[in-house]
């Protein structure tokens, strides 16, 4: 593809609202600051078409720059991601496809979410593990008995900033394909390790020979759910995702699956869509906003 063709594609998706990009990347708007979002790369503030990540001392302008920053993609892959995921991008991709056909060009490859960036897991820091343990047990009411085997297996550890790192793994070998990050300080913070491939694996905790699987929106919720349902495997989808690619594999293996997404509008909407796509799945709605809130009703 020549430069002019790429520029036309980029111009069609550049003006996608930053709020749309953040929502598509499962970012969470700060309840106290409407311009601030908690993202996979840390807190991001937006002003019009500009964004700033103060923790990483970087920023940019427009949807393409924001996708490049959040997903650790180059410009070409970011444009393709917007074409695949955003409503405006869908129309742009169809238009580009018609131009390509008229020019007898090959189809435009569209990479899956966050597949182009190399995985960069945070380094382990054993000196910060006590801080992570205290946060999870004292502030999140998680059982040290449940956490211990996760830490022994390396599926949960502390990085050099004292964040809790929950590994996303794939296959029987539990090969790391990413990580959920959760801050353990006074500021609310959550994110993903750069290059995380959420479509390739997931964080899980549970029984050795389960018959039932519960899908949750985060690793902390998955651990919380397992404490309530110890006969099940509880999986984090790292956001309210209605149809992660690995879900079909779990269903084909004969597991009964419950959708345990949050008891809020996004969680309920994603649950309905998941059940529409996979009618055998049942809704398991938390009695509070999410599974961890069931364990910490006064927090």
pLDDT tens, position by position, 38-85: 888 888 999 988 899 877 667 888 898 898 888 877 777 788 888 888
pLDDT of residue 210: 82
Q: Which 3 state secondary structure label does DSSP give 36?
A: strand
Strand runs labelled E in the chain: 28-30, 33-39, 42-47, 50-53, 58-61, 156-158, 164-170, 175-182, 190-192, 203-206, 212-216, 233-236, 256-259, 282-283
- How is 57-107 classified by DSSP, letter by letter? TEEEESHHHHHHHHHT--HHHHHHHHHHHSHHHHHHHHHHHHHHHHTTPPP
pLDDT of residue 57: 67
Among the residue ranges 68-72, 100-104, 233-237, the one predicted with the least confidence is: 100-104
Does the structure show a pLDDT above 70 at 264?
yes
Does the structure show a pLDDT above 80 at 196?
yes
How distant is the alpha carbon of residue 163 from its chain centre?
A: 16
Q: Which CATH number fits domain 126-295: 3.30.499.10, 3.40.50.720, 3.40.1360.10, 2.40.10.220?
A: 3.40.1360.10
Long-range contacts: 151-159, Cβ < 8 Å, 24+? Answer: 155/203, 155/205, 156/132, 156/219, 157/124, 157/129, 157/132, 158/124, 158/125, 158/126, 158/128, 158/129, 158/131, 158/132, 159/122, 159/123, 159/124, 159/125, 159/128
CA pseudo-torsion sign 33, 47, 195, 113: positive
* Tally of CB atoms within 10 A around 4: 7
Q: Where are the domains positioned within the chain?
A: 3-102, 126-295
Among the residue ranges 14-23, 67-76, 197-206, the one predicted with the least confidence is: 67-76
Please compute the mean of the pLDDT values over residues 173-190 and round it to a whole number: 86
Please compute the mean of the pLDDT values over residues 7-34 and round it to a whole number: 87
- The phi and psi torsions of 222 (rounded to 5 degrees) equal -65, -45
| pLDDT band at residue 9 using 50, 70 and 90 as cut-offs | confident
> Which distant-in-sequence residues (6+ apart) come within 8 Å of 264 by Cβ?
289
Round to whole Å and give the CA distance between 217 and 195. 19
Q: Is 241 left (phi over 0), alpha (psi -120 to 50) or beta?
A: beta
pLDDT of residue 112: 41
pLDDT of residue 191: 83
pLDDT of residue 77: 78
**Beta partners for residue 59, in sequence order:** 52
Does the structure show a pLDDT above 90 at 257?
yes
Round to whole Å and give the CA distance between 177 and 277. 25
- Which position has the higher pLDDT, 19 or 74? 19
pLDDT of residue 92: 43
| pLDDT band at residue 213 using 50, 70 and 90 as cut-offs | very high
Could you tell me if 72 and 117 are in contact, meaning their C-beta atoms sit under 8 angstroms apart? yes
Looking at every residue in the chain, the average pLDDT score rounds to 84
Percent of the chain scored above 70 by pLDDT?
Answer: 86
């Amino acid at each position: 593809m020549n430069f002019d063709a790429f520029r036309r594609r980029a111009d069609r998706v550049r003006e996608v609202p930053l709020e749309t990009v953040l929502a598509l990347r499962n970012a969470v708007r700060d309840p106290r600051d409407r311009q601030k979002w908690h993202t996979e790369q840390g807190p991001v503030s937006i002003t019009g078409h500009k964004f700033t990540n103060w923790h990483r001392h970087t920023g940019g302008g427009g949807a393409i720059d924001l996708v490049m920053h959040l997903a650790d993609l180059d410009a070409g892959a970011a444009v393709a991601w917007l074409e695949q995921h955003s409503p405006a991008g869908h129309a742009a991709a169809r238009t580009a496809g018609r131009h390509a056909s008229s020019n007898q060009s090959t189809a435009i490859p569209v990479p899956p979410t966050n597949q182009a960036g190399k995985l960069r897991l945070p380094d382990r820091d054993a000196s910060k593990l006590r801080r992570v343990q205290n946060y999870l047990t004292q502030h999140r009411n998680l059982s040290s008995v449940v956490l211990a085997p996760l830490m022994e297996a390396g599926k949960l550890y502390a990085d050099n900033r004292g964040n809790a790192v929950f590994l996303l793994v794939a296959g029987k070998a539990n090969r790391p394909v990413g990580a959920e990050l959760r801050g353990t300080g006074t500021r609310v913070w959550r994110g993903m390790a750069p290059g995380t491939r959420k479509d390739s694996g997931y964080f899980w905790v549970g029984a050795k020979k389960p018959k039932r699987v519960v899908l949750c929106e985060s690793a902390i919720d998955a651990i919380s759910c397992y404490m309530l349902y110890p006969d099940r495997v509880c999986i984090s989808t790292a956001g309210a995702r209605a149809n992660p690619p690995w879900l079909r594999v779990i269903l084909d293996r004969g597991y009964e699956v419950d959708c345990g997404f949050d008891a809020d509008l996004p969680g309920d909407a994603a649950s309905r869509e998941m059940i529409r796509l996979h009618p055998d799945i049942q809704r398991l709605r938390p009695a509070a906003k999410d599974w961890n809130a069931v364990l910490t009703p006064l927090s």
